[in-house]
Structure 1
């Protein structure tokens, strides 16, 4: 398993030769003009991989290692001058040599060379378990003409008229400042974070389930003590004794053993603290829940009270948030799987019968045959089918009226218990972000957490500071559930339509069994009608995904968010899916890494679509438009690899290990307005 390491130190003329340092790291013999001797070191078992990267405006001789570092030593006149900066980075064991080389080159080019430094890189692999790279960097910039620049410059103080201030003796007043920020502590922190991000990007690109962080345990929010890194000799000594089945007694090894034991004790102590907190909060949860229920119930209008009484009689048990939600889900499933298909079927049947009647009077024999009618026996076929339609429509209207009444009552009761749940949860966790206080997508998880507190289920309890992450994951999960459901529905409907179309073509070809053709025509057109309805639902879900992505990546540029909006539903869902999975691990991924994940999945869909189209050869399938053919794998359209690459390139690569609520003020106001509407009207997103 890989570990993260990036160290930086400065090579000073006071104690070191930068030519010797370059010779040792590259494995090359180099002549030092300052010492007038050849610098050469022992031959390594594995030859280093070495190369030099330079800015475009740097002179060509910077690619000559010997000349480069001799020129540096000649330019730096002071006896204690800084000659070079060395960056030492550990390379991930999970990557192969080519992948490691690519990681090093990308990191060095982006963070050092593009900023104006010449980088002399040497990758060492003497030890299989310890691949690492040495990066020697120039500390003096180059001018545009290829000459050496200055490390420091004078910043003159000026008065209100822009004139340079002078001392009483006429000397100009100035401050000496660095010409670059390469020596700043903040820059080193930026390099450390950037290398961790690039390591994680490399893991993602190569399907490696691994994650590193440049942050300390404390900054990551982990209650752990860091172990001491052993020096090379001590590490090797400990490993030799372990191989012999013995325990090393060196100071730092024993200290690490004690740290491991302490971390185990911290974990056990945290578990007890959670249990105690839950036990102490249980009475208050029940009390607050009772108070909020009484308050809301006392202010209900008569129709809401009537709905509660009705549902109590129907459920024959105490009405709670859980059983109301379950009952409502059942009613929604009935509406989606039975009511909507029946309504579409009746609409299609009515339209088909009307069109057939007009075709008969217009003597359109071909149309009649396509719909399962004949000119000679038209009314013998038409009248029984019309009567069957009218009977079915009457039964449908009666059944729909009853179910709509049940849904209306259940929705009212659910709205009431939703409001109680929100108010109770917001009292217990008053510090949650505003965007979650009245967010109906997190209602189920809120109810589960309240139940865990009431029943003191220790394994389900969470720290208050984790509530925001848990709710964020729940919100994404809810939207993904919607997205996946509508995508699967559309895919099944599309395949079913294709199958029905092929069957109808076969029957029409034989020009027999007009009754079967009629019923197949109704089924085929009903499925097409349902596809249209499902596509409209998908558009609504797509808008909801779009809104959530804007909230999660609010700090991206407007141009990036606009391009993100143009992505189809499944790409947005994949971005959120990766974001959710990373958040569960304790990380907040950048948009760039999320899009890379989505790009891989879009590529897989392309391959599946190619196989699908290759296997489909029926005339019906060939008559379909490109959009209709694509819908089986690309719900909401395709996203080309070029578009996704542009989005990856434009998006930010910043990543933190702990989510911080920095919601813009205008978004908070919008959420507050929504909360007020819900309090007054008992609205809920169903």
Structure 2
């Protein structure tokens, strides 16, 4: 059975802070006159008219069914500033109950717990929000007699000592104490009401054949790890709704503003960790089992190599290393597009280029000493000057070597640690299940099963491991944080474009126009080498790109019409779609939208190019060319799609359709 949403809250209404007449007017959507301040209380009507009624004890006079008379009488009787004039109760109603069922539930609970005890109850059921029906109950703090007089809440009684003797004041007069005449104020009574509400919910849920159960106990007492959220006041709720609407209007992400809304966001984030395991609570086990497993595995001898590797990774992540962390680090260091690895690759290329430049300079100097002057050296002091520069280069090489060794050490450590964690995982899994089942599950599935045990004390039946793992595979997918191939390709293509422009700029410059010819020549060699390496990487991953574009619906011939840049653009735009949009994708409309976007982008870049000069002009020219190439390729695909549609229509209807015409950004056909 599903766990239903339980809400019961109670508070006291103080005369100094609130008006019972005003509260009743607001909740019932009625206009009520307040004798206390001479004002008529009237508020903006709810979007759905409240279902309001008053319940009273059988002996109470009929005028108590008139809410204006009822609450004015209450406020006229209790006039002190500290007076408690009403009790406010809020009930959350099941949204899977019909309106009639909600009304029956509310009336029975109010009658049994409040009316039969002598209170008068002013009830308003609100259904403004479809998924949040609730009942506001305003209760009298005093009983009323048959003549319509409010009874005393307490009375003075003699104060007695432990032996039962009257306690006297200093002046000899008897001491008295105030004694409540009912138990409505007691914590035990509040707990009883909360329990009774849960019982009534379960009783009616069973009667109305609803597959839902309710509990008044805290989540902790129920053995649940999730936390309850805080109910917002109406003012807080309305304010948050305004903030949400403003963010939607501005197309910006919503962030909670009020204190309890922020707390609820934190609680929601916390509860998300347990959302997928609530239905598995029946498989909870003894918490000591985890301790027994830890004790057993610690007895296993760990190699010095594994200990060293794990310690390195612990320092790297500043925390505990298990199979999941080890696998994630292994994937990170094995990725050729790892940012650290790319940085080292660039530094390596730069140093190699620098060594070549110095070697060439020395050779050229031996042939023609004056040649080195254009690089900032003097003929007379060249040998000493270049020696100093080479020493500086060697210092950088030493630093590079140290950093590379550190990277390589961590890369090797991630491999060693992963192997160690796999062995450890197999040992733990064998303890809980059986060694003969080790090969039946992947390491990810075994890690998932052991993670459930460690975090939630749940031993999942062997037959359910694969099924439950599939439901939350993304959570345990340690490749999820890896950059998508299209994004890697896009970043690489951007770098290639930058290198191309830089190479062209240096090549077309005269030596005397360059501030530091030596540095520029080093850069030139570096950029050429990196560009070649990046182009090789693009060639290596293009088959993967082709496969992913094909999965969207592109045919082989259509792929041939697209450059690698166009394929990457298609994958990027496709990644922005929701899962529903992807399932319902109309390929022709999708391609048309992307084509128009890049057509417009090419025109905008071209306009900016006309207003620019120098390096900025080259950048806009590159953007314009790239966008136009993407647009042209997609336009060719559109024609192929249109042609395929024409052939299909001709086969069905015996006639063709109007050919696809290319349109300008303003909608006119070309």
Report the TM range for the smaller structure's normalisation.
0.3 to 0.5
More relative contact order, 1 or 2 (CA 8 Å, 6+ apart):
1
Q: Structure 1-normalised TM-score? A: 0.39
The structure that has the greater radius of gyration is 2
Q: Structure 2-normalised TM-score? A: 0.40
